[in-house]
């Protein structure tokens, strides 16, 4: 009897065994055997392979890479020194990649092994793909950088200057950590009248690119009247910062209607977003220093302008008075004193008019300085309590955020003139605007 192989037994199932060879004729007699068609056999084999290799990881080098011009699907070969494997990457997954696929690139892929029935070839249907190792990440970075540079996304001529006195600034970063606190601290020190809007996002890991892109689109809406958008996160490895090397995010930064500042990582870290943004800051704290003017320097400039105007007016009047005295003392003008007196009267009238104008100008500058001084004084923590604001203490700890309270918690509410005990009833309010003086009040 001829013995079936293991594969034949699994595929054919209950098919009867092959008959014995007739010694006289040396032929098979198949009797009542029902053979499988090629299609049936291929389908059965496909099911077996897909069950056995439904989730595999394979590493190799890309070769014969082709992207279909109409469907956008990608077809290529994974190979090493001794073998090769056909691979397919569907269009919707290819569009999520943040690096460029090309021949010679070493990659790690995840997917399932399947059979392409019309040709009977086995292949891997890729669900995930990434460069193999840090060196490949750096190579992917350089390739994307070169591609976007050739498209003109890094052109200095298209980059916009930042407004000198921004009123509203959006910062896109994580709502926890040192980045937002450092940014607030520098802003409070340099330009406390500015309004900061935080758009909290995930800055690394799955979904982070989409989160940052959505926040960038939101910050571009006219209803927020934002003057500058800051993309910020702390330092980290190349893998940690990889979300900011995504091609989709880079193109979204390029499309932003609002001037952008990239403040990602440390001074030695560079991302694709750094090259696309209008301004690159070495750190988030440095971004605040670049964006906001120093209030002390502004006051000094106002004093210098005030001195310059006074000195210029005095010199102007001194010059005309000297000319008038010379004319008055001349021989020609000694007789027509009435003309001279008229000129002097007009000069006195002009002097009074100009003096009134200058007084109004100085008064406005004085009122503006007083307003800024009053604004700084009114925003102090003590004055905030006087104006009816309170803060909440739970278990001898200051509660700065709503999420730290649970329903029916017992707390103390501190007023300017005393305290009250209370029980919390939670609501669903959400706040977005940042209080620049959070840290000051905690002190």
322-343 average pLDDT score? 71
Residue 394, H or E segment:
strand 391-394
Residue 99: CATH number of its domain: 2.40.50.140
User: Could you tell me the two tokens for 439?
Assistant: 């840290």
Is there a single domain that holds both residue 46 and residue 64? Answer: no
**pTM, to two decimals:** 0.47
* Cβ-contact 114, 50 below 8 angstroms: yes
Confidence (pLDDT) at 3: 38
Describe the strand order of the beta sheet including 418-423 as a list of residue ranges: 397-398, 391-394, 410-415, 418-423
DSSP secondary-structure letter at 409? -
Is there a single domain that holds both residue 223 and residue 175? Answer: yes
Over the Cα atoms of the chain, what is R_g? 38
Is there a single domain that holds both residue 237 and residue 167? Answer: yes
Confidence (pLDDT) at 427: 59
Confirm whether 235 is domain-assigned.
yes
Q: What's the CA gap between 100 and 107, in Å, rounded? A: 11
State which residues form the domain around 340. Answer: 296-378
Residue 279: CATH number of its domain: 3.40.50.2300
pLDDT tens track for 112-139: 999 888 888 899 999 998 888 656 778 7
Is there a single domain that holds both residue 275 and residue 338? Answer: no
Q: What's the CA gap between 115 and 74, in Å, rounded? A: 17
Is there a single domain that holds both residue 189 and residue 239? Answer: yes
Confirm whether 227 is domain-assigned.
yes
Confidence (pLDDT) at 67: 92
Whether the per-residue pLDDT at 309 is higher than 70: the answer is yes
pLDDT band, very low/low/confident/very high, at 202 (cuts 50, 70, 90) = very high
Confidence (pLDDT) at 377: 73
The number of distinct structural domains making up the chain is 5
- Calculate what percentage of the chain has a pLDDT beyond 90: 37
pLDDT tens track for 138-169: 878 888 899 999 999 999 999 999 999 999 99
Q: What's the CA gap between 345 and 414, in Å, rounded? A: 66
Whether the per-residue pLDDT at 300 is higher than 70: the answer is yes
341-364 average pLDDT score? 84
Confidence (pLDDT) at 125: 94
Contacts of 122 (CB under 8 A, 6+ apart): 49, 85, 86, 113, 114, 115, 116
pLDDT tens track for 54-91: 899 999 999 999 999 899 999 999 998 889 999 999 99
**Closest of 283, 217, 284 to residue 251, by C-alpha:** 217
Confirm whether 137 is domain-assigned.
no
């Amino acid at each position: 009897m001829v013995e079936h192989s293991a594969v034949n037994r699994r595929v054919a199932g209950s098919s009867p065994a092959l008959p014995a060879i007739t010694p006289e004729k040396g032929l098979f007699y198949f009797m009542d055997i029902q053979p499988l068609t090629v299609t049936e056999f291929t389908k059965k084999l496909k099911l077996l392979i897909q069950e056995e290799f439904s989730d595999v990881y394979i590493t190799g080098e890309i070769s014969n890479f082709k992207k279909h011009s109409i469907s956008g699907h990608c077809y290529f070969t994974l190979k090493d020194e001794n073998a090769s494997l056909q691979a397919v990457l569907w269009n919707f997954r290819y569009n999520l990649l943040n690096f460029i696929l090309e021949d010679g690139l070493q990659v790690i892929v995840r997917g399932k092994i399947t059979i392409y029935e019309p040709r009977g070839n086995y292949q891997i249907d890729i669900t995930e793909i990434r460069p193999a190792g840090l060196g490949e990440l750096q190579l992917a970075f350089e390739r994307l950088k070169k591609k976007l540079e050739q498209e003109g996304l890094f052109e200095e001529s298209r980059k916009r200057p930042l407004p000198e006195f921004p009123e509203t600034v959006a910062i896109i970063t994580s709502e926890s950590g040192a980045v937002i606190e450092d940014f607030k601290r520098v802003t409070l020190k340099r330009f406390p009248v500015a309004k900061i809007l935080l758009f909290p996002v995930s800055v690394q890991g799955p979904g982070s690119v989409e989160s940052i892109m959505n926040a960038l689109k939101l910050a571009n809406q006219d209803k927020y009247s934002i003057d500058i958008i800051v993309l910020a996160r702390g330092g980290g490895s190349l893998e940690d910062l990889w979300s900011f090397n995504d091609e989709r995010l880079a193109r979204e930064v390029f499309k932003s209607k609002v001037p952008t500042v990239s403040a990602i990582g440390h001074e030695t870290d560079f991302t694709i977003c750094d090259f696309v943004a209008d301004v690159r800051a070495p750190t988030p704290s440095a971004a605040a220093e670049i964006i906001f003017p120093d209030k002390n320097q502004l006051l000094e400039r106002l004093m210098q302008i005030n001195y310059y105007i006074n000195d210029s007016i005095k010199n102007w009047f001194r010059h005309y008075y000297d000319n008038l005295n010379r004319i008055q003392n001349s021989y020609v003008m000694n007789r027509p004193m009435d003309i001279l007196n008229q000129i002097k009267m007009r000069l006195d009238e002009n002097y009074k008019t100009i003096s009134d104008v200058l007084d109004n100008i100085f008064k406005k500058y004085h009122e503006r300085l007083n307003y800024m001084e009053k604004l700084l004084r009114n925003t102090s923590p003590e004055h905030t309590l006087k104006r009816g604001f309170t803060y909440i203490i739970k278990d001898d700890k200051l509660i700065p955020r709503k999420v730290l309270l649970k329903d029916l918690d017992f707390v103390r509410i501190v007023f300017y003139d005393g305290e009250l005990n209370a029980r919390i009833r939670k609501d669903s309010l959400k706040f977005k605007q940042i209080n620049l003086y959070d840290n000051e009040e905690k002190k």
